[in-house]
Amino acid sequence: MNQATPSSSWLSKLMGGQAKQKLLAFASLVTLILVFTALKPDAFMTSDNIIGILQSTTVIGVLAIASTFIIITSGIDLSVGVLMTFCAVMAGVFMVNWAIPLPLGVLGAILIGSLCGTTSGLAITKLKVPPFIATLGMMMLLKGASLIITATRPIYFGEVEGFDQISLGSLIGDLVPALPIPNGVLILFLLAFNSAFILNKTALGRYTFALGSNEEAVRLSGVNVDRWKIIVYAFSGGICGIAGLLIASRLNSAQPALGQGYELDAIAAVVIGGTSLSGGVGTILGTIIGAFIMSVLINGLRIMSVAQEWQMVLTGLIIILAVYTDNLRRNKK
Amino acid sequence: MNAKRKLLVLTAGLALAGFASIASAQEVYIPLISKGFQHQFWQAVKQGADQAAKDYKVKVTFEGPETEQQVDKQIDMLSAALAKKPSAIGFAALDSKAAIPLLKKAQAAKIPVIAFDSGVDSDIVLTTAQTDSKAAAALAADKMAEKIGGEGEVAVIGHDQTSTTGTGRRDGFVNEIKAKYPKITVVDIQYGGGDHLKSAEIAKTLLQAHPKLKGIFGTNEGSAIGAGKGLKEAKKTGVVIIGFDSGKAQKDMINDGTIAGAITQNPVGIGYKTVEAAVKALKGEKLPKIIDTGFYYYDKSNMADPKIAAVLYD
């Protein structure tokens, strides 16, 4: 895997040692953009539409980052979409119902995410429930909890000064008016950058990979496997909290029934980005590219007025193709 | 490897080019962003829109998210539709407040917005083509009262607790019973998400919990079919089901007597009136605030009536 030539060594360092694979995924993304631009230049390549694409990637991108950590440990988390919603709901409870100041409410929502992640982690490690089942249970539990807490009605953040700025405001646009990049997009990229650092340069990252490659060996070498696994789920849960804040801010409301199915979009982005479902392999950059391939594809097909049924067929084909080509490349090595 | 991938991308590109040629520019183009697209109801709305597109010689596309909870995905669709610089837009909001920033953008670009199925809390939309949910459900309550003799226990199987149609139909039914039929009590309201199977389970549980139950109101196609299935599986007779909307399975159950009758909206009319209103708006004609597209009660006796048959869908 780590056969980078000297000339691309800075690239491989930046990209976690899988530069070639990332370049391939990136090339597909660029190709996709070029094809759509060629076919619909006046609608696809407009600043409004590009911002629309960036905006539509933020939530799935953040959820995909959360899922990347879990999937690298060879686990799976089916609850990320609904956990996002639960955190959005709790943000509403904190800031609207209890009138807690915005920074504390934001922190609270992220903590709730970590807490739920910790619970999943405990169920997986201490109760020995397989991740698929533990997080499936968590998904149902949290979906119900969101509906109960809100009495099934959305919570609107209209009164919370500045809350919609988390997603919709533009710090970059305030500095450079020609670049009105929404804050949500900025948050996605900052989070991706930090997560890549954590994954590649810290103990948490090393154990995330180790758990996915050979959990037994890690255990035998005296590492507290359970503890690290719980930490990974807690960390991923916290990221879902950020996704919850982003979607709530974008809609200026916490929609209690939303979220189911988003975990599958997130998982699709992760695997398109080259992370293996069997664990031990994966990068954040790949995941981000995967998320953008999905949203560029869907946006482009919409711009072309392709019938919705066909949008689904094409998206499905692209996911299978992406993973197939990735497998071929792997097997060759 | 790379070559193979290039080939694949190229093929995909060519396929897209094929689709693109269908959509040519320089014509009146009206995208409809709906709440869904795979349910028969929305397909009937689409059918009406397509008919109007033919009659008025405009181009119409129809899109909606996979579930009625995906507020953010609907916003992405609206955003992509605006990027295509349409002549006008038809929009059935899942959450009208969330769409306001984009609707303002449409307003700034002088793109008329016509709401359909459910309203938008804003004067940006020129008109709304919709069914009066409360009045329609009140008619269901009247029919229920008539069939069970004006007294006894009834229950509601709702399709959801958040959308305006979900709450409007539930409240329209319950309020009408409370206001006009003091001897009828609504003993339970349960939600099956419009899912046949879940609604059937709910119906069976209702029959267990309330042995004297005389009637069930199913607030949409799936809820009504589920109620009918539940009754059949429990081998229970003598419980009156009033349904909502149509669809082949519901029509069959009305024909075999499992469901007494149902309220139908006029989905084809909703689609047609939306496109028609958009065309009128483009010509600068004034529009009423609400275009009531109407509703009817139908049962075995009047299903073949041309006026009813025209708005029922399979």
- Give the tens place of pLDDT for each residue, B33-52: 999 887 788 888 999 999 99
Mean pLDDT calculated for residue range B136-140: 96
Look at residue A79 and tell me whether its pLDDT is greater than 90. yes
The pLDDT of residue A208: 96
**pTM, 2 dp:** 0.78
What percent of chain B is predicted at pLDDT more than 70? 92
Q: What are the CA-CA distances from residue A64 to residues A8, A239, A274 (Å)?
A: 27, 10, 12
Three-state secondary structure call for residue B218: strand
Q: Between B19, B97, B105, which is nearest A304 by CB? A: B19
Nearest to B117 by CA among B273, B284, B301: B273
Instruction: Identify the CATH number of the domain in which residue B286 sits.
Output: 3.40.50.2300
The pLDDT of residue A28: 86
The answer to whether residue B60 is domain-embedded is: yes
The pLDDT of residue B250: 93
The answer to whether residue B17 is domain-embedded is: no
Label the pairing between strands B261-265 and B213-218: unpaired
| Cross-chain Cβ contact A258/B72 below 8 Å | yes
Q: Between B15, B16, B63, which is nearest A308 by CB? A: B63
Q: Are residues B37 and B120 in the same domain?
A: yes
Name the residue range of residue B86's domain.
27-131+267-294
The answer to whether residue B214 is domain-embedded is: yes
Across A15-29, A211-225, B295-309, least confident range: A15-29
Three-state secondary structure call for residue B305: coil
Better-predicted residue by pLDDT, A9 or A293: A293
One-letter amino acid identity for B49?
A
The pLDDT of residue A271: 92
Number of Cβ within a 10 Å radius of residue A97: 11
The top-scoring range by mean pLDDT among A313-317, B163-167, B182-186 is: B182-186
The answer to whether residue B145 is domain-embedded is: yes
Nearest to B83 by CA among A304, A250, A185: A304
The answer to whether residue B299 is domain-embedded is: no
End-to-end alpha carbon distance in chain B: 48
One-letter amino acid identity for A14?
L
Contacts of A301 in chain B (CB under 8 A): 16
Q: How confident is the model at residue B247 (pLDDT cuts 50, 70, 90)?
A: confident
CA distance B158 to B223: 7
Q: Are residues B257 and B170 in the same domain?
A: yes
Cα nearest neighbour of B5 on chain A: A325
Q: Are residues B143 and B258 in the same domain?
A: yes
Mutate to test the interface with A, among B4, B9, B43, B191 (most CBs of A within 10 A): B9
Give the count of domains, chain B: 2
Q: Are residues B127 and B276 in the same domain?
A: yes
The answer to whether residue B309 is domain-embedded is: no
Three-state secondary structure call for residue B289: coil
CA distance B263 to B297: 4
Mutate to test the interface with B, among A255, A313, A319 (most CBs of B within 10 A): A255
Print burial letters for B230-266: b (CB count within 10 Å at least 16), e (below 16): bbeebeeeebbbbbbbbbebbbebbeeebbbbbbbbb
Asked whether B169 and B244 are in contact (CB, 8 A), the reply is yes
CA distance A281 to A329: 14
| Cross-chain Cβ contact B83/A44 below 8 Å | yes
The pLDDT of residue B23: 46
Number of Cβ within a 10 Å radius of residue A320: 10
- Beta bridge mates, B299: B261
The answer to whether residue B88 is domain-embedded is: yes
Q: Are residues B244 and B146 in the same domain?
A: yes
Angle between helices A102-125 and A80-92 (to 10 degrees): 150
The answer to whether residue B1 is domain-embedded is: no
Mean pLDDT calculated for residue range A28-51: 90
Q: Model confidence over A211-265: pLDDT tens digits?
A: 999 999 999 999 999 999 999 999 999 999 999 999 999 888 898 988 988 999 9
| Cross-chain Cβ contact A250/B72 below 8 Å | yes
CA distance B45 to B33: 11
Q: Are residues B79 and B149 in the same domain?
A: no
Helix spans in chain A (H): 9-14, 19-39, 41-44, 47-72, 80-92, 102-125, 131-150, 165-168, 171-175, 183-201, 203-220, 225-251, 262-272, 284-303, 308-332
Nearest to B112 by CA among B93, B96, B128: B128
Mutate to test the interface with A, among B21, B79, B122 (most CBs of A within 10 A): B79
Number of Cβ within a 10 Å radius of residue B21: 10
Q: Are residues B208 and B289 in the same domain?
A: no
Q: Between A52, A300, A308, which is nearest B76 by CB? A: A52
Does domain A18-332 fall under CATH 1.10.3470? My reply is: yes
Asked whether A240 and A195 are in contact (CB, 8 A), the reply is no
Ranges of each domain in chain A: 18-332
